[in-house]
């Protein structure tokens, strides 16, 4: 079944878009950001939402996905020793004494929802940026704030004032603590430090873990399931990141790039922290049983720590990383606009599932089917030619992930369809770039997984 929308000239007008026929299609949202159209939804009929395709994200996973970007803050003795990998023996005295500073968040960011998701509370060197009671290797042993400082505490206080959500990274690998390598003792030590971080600094939205460990280091068994249970108990709204989830998985590289095909669906049983298949991490699994979206991480400089001899990546390079991470539905570890509960509630109040919703940005207003279809096409007619070189498409992932193939075409002067771009998965968001297109008619086609079935239609 094909459907068609006639779109008026994109300029201020009181006229709503004209629909040439009723719409009955799978759940999907198509956004052409070049449009700025007045759309009235008050006359749209109400009907129940479609059946979700399992698995679907939890509430914390959904809020994490909506954040899209975050900051990962790297700071410690390495900052002052020109080191990238410390052995755990750097002198805490290298941290300068410092002095009280003004509030670090610019006033222009008031009212924004900036997510400083992962300050590393402890990196592999074992140095703690908070005054942990379980080690003598922390800010208490430094001259900073005369030994009374708390980097995590100051960041948490600034975040609360500024409306910034907070996460923490606590490295499992510890090159300083003598108990590292003693399974029972170190796991107790680690969980003690995790408890400090999750009970002192308010609401934590993400706990970031990894399986990094250098060759030749002590053998160590991490009690990941115990750690996960502790995090769930102390911070139930936090998502847990690691190579293999349970809530968010690593994309498999540190370049900031997602796979062209990327499913949020995943089999946790097929992945092990510290030993994952990069291809599986990149692509996910359309037949998986778990919702575990991927996250990209990348430094704006060559390494994780600051070095005077290095320079940050160019703006063009960072933009390219954005398109290849957030633009391919993954979260990128920066700044983003407000999306509070009030905005979500407002969107839910105007729910409808008709084709006009392809012009609405966001996942709470979308186009949905009355009957199951695996193949469908949407035609968009413009009263005047439009010029664009970017396509943004989204799925309402609260209903699961469905699309596994899509195509955008334009009608040429000879009446033939020319391919603009082809794609595979969509998920939360795909942003695709291509050479500039000038046209007044577009065709968007897609293939979708059906509810109650995990098999692709033939």
Query: Are 223 and 84 part of one and the same domain?
Result: yes
Query: Are 365 and 270 part of one and the same domain?
Result: no
User: Which pLDDT belongs to residue 275?
Assistant: 84
Of 164, 242, 151, residue with least CA distance to 203:
164
Does residue 340 lie within any of the structural domains?
A: no
Domain boundary among 276, 297, 332: 332
Query: Are 201 and 90 part of one and the same domain?
Result: yes
H-assigned helices in 88-243:
151-162, 183-200, 224-234
Q: What DSSP character marks residue 359?
A: G
User: Which pLDDT belongs to residue 168?
Assistant: 92
User: Which pLDDT belongs to residue 4?
Assistant: 57
Token digits for 189?
């030590």
Query: Are 91 and 219 part of one and the same domain?
Result: yes
Q: Find the helix or strand (DSSP H, E) in which 382 lies.
A: strand 375-394
User: Which pLDDT belongs to residue 328?
Assistant: 64
Q: Exposure of 73 by Cβ count < 10 A (0-12 exposed, 13-18 middle, 19+ buried)?
A: middle
Tell me which residue range forms the domain holding 434.
2-52+351-448
H-assigned helices in 76-139:
77-81
Q: Find the helix or strand (DSSP H, E) in which 381 lies.
A: strand 375-394
Of 45, 39, 44, 42, residue with least CA distance to 8:
39
Does residue 338 lie within any of the structural domains?
A: no
Each of the 458 residues of the chain gets a pLDDT tens digit; together they read 455 555 555 443 333 333 333 333 334 444 543 333 333 344 455 667 778 888 999 999 999 988 887 888 888 888 777 787 888 888 888 777 664 454 444 443 433 333 445 567 898 899 999 999 999 999 999 988 899 999 999 989 988 888 888 999 999 999 999 999 999 999 999 999 999 999 999 999 999 998 777 778 888 999 999 999 999 999 999 999 999 999 999 988 777 777 788 899 999 999 988 888 989 999 999 999 999 999 888 888 888 777 777 778 788 888 888 887 776 655 665 322 222 333 334 334 344 555 656 666 666 666 665 556 667 777 888 888 888 888 888 888 888 888 889 899 998 888 899 999 999 998 888 888 899 988 888 888 888 876 543 333 32
Which positions ≥6 away from 240 have C-beta within 8 Å? 206, 207, 209, 228, 231, 246, 247, 248
Domain boundary among 298, 332, 366: 332
List the CATH number of the domain containing 177. Answer: 3.20.20.80
Query: Are 136 and 251 part of one and the same domain?
Result: yes
Query: Are 65 and 31 part of one and the same domain?
Result: no
The span from the CA of 94 to the CA of 117, in Å, is 26
Does residue 165 lie within any of the structural domains?
A: yes
List the CATH number of the domain containing 432. Answer: 2.60.120.260
User: Which pLDDT belongs to residue 118?
Assistant: 54
Query: Are 289 and 367 part of one and the same domain?
Result: no
Report the number of distinct structural domains present in the chain. Answer: 2
Q: Exposure of 266 by Cβ count < 10 A (0-12 exposed, 13-18 middle, 19+ buried)?
A: buried
pTM listed for this prediction: 0.76
Exposure class string for 268-297: b at 16+ Cβ within 10 A, else e: eeebebeebeeebbbbbbbebebbbbbbbb
Query: Are 93 and 7 part of one and the same domain?
Result: no
- Sign of the four-CA dihedral 322, 325, 327, 330: negative
Query: Are 296 and 429 part of one and the same domain?
Result: no
Radius of gyration of the chain (CA): 24
Does residue 344 lie within any of the structural domains?
A: no
Token digits for 76?
């410690």
User: Which pLDDT belongs to residue 330?
Assistant: 58
Query: Are 211 and 309 part of one and the same domain?
Result: yes
Query: Are 48 and 85 part of one and the same domain?
Result: no
Q: Find the helix or strand (DSSP H, E) in which 430 lies.
A: strand 430-448
Query: Are 283 and 366 part of one and the same domain?
Result: no
Does residue 195 lie within any of the structural domains?
A: yes
């Amino acid at each position: 079944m094909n459907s068609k929308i006639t779109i008026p000239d994109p300029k201020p007008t009181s006229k709503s878009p004209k629909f040439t026929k009723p719409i009955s299609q799978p759940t999907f949202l198509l956004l052409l950001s070049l449009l700025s159209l007045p759309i009235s939804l008050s006359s749209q009929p109400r009907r129940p939402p479609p059946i979700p395709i399992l698995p679907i994200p939890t509430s914390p996973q959904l809020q994490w996905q909506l954040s899209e970007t975050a900051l990962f803050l790297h700071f410690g003795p390495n900052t002052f020793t020109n080191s990238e990998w410390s052995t755990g023996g750097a002198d805490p005295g290298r941290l300068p004494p410092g002095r009280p500073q003004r509030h670090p968040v610019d006033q222009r960011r008031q009212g924004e929802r900036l997510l400083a998701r992962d300050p590393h509370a402890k990196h592999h060197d074992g140095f703690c940026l908070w005054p942990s009671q379980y080690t003598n290797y922390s800010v208490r042993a430094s001259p900073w704030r005369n030994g009374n400082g708390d980097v995590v505490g100051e960041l948490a206080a600034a975040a609360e004032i500024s409306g910034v959500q907070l996460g923490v990274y606590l490295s499992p690998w510890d090159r300083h603590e003598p108990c590292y390598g003693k399974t029972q003792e170190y796991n107790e030590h680690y969980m003690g430090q995790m408890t400090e971080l999750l009970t002192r600094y308010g609401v934590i939205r993400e706990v970031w873990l990894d399986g990094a460990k250098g060759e030749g280091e002590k053998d160590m068994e991490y009690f990941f399931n115990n750690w996960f249970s502790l995090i769930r108990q102390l911070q139930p709204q936090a998502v847990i990141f690691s190579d293999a989830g349970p809530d968010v998985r690593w994309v498999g590289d540190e370049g900031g790039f997602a796979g062209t095909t990327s499913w949020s669906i995943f089999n946790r049983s097929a992945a092990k922290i510290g030993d994952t298949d990069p291809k599986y991490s990149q692509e996910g699994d359309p037949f998986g049983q778990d919702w575990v979206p991927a996250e990209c991480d990348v430094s704006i400089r060559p390494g994780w720590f600051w070095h005077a001899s290095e320079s940050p990546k160019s703006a063009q390079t960072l933009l390219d990383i954005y398109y290849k991470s957030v633009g391919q539905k993954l979260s990128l570890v920066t700044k983003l606009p407000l999306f509070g509960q009030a905005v979500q509630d407002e969107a839910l109040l105007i729910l409808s599932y008709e084709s006009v919703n392809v012009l609405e940005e966001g996942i709470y207003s979308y186009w949905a089917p009355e009957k199951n279809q695996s193949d469908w096409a949407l035609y968009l007619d413009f009263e005047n030619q439009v010029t664009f070189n970017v396509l943004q498409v989204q799925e309402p992932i609260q209903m699961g992930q469905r699309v596994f193939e899509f195509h955008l075409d334009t009608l040429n002067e000879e009446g033939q369809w020319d391919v603009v771009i082809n794609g595979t998965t969509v998920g939360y968001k795909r942003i695709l770039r291509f050479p500039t297109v000038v046209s007044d008619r577009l065709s968007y086609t897609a293939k979708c997984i059906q509810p109650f079935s995990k098999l692709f239609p033939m």
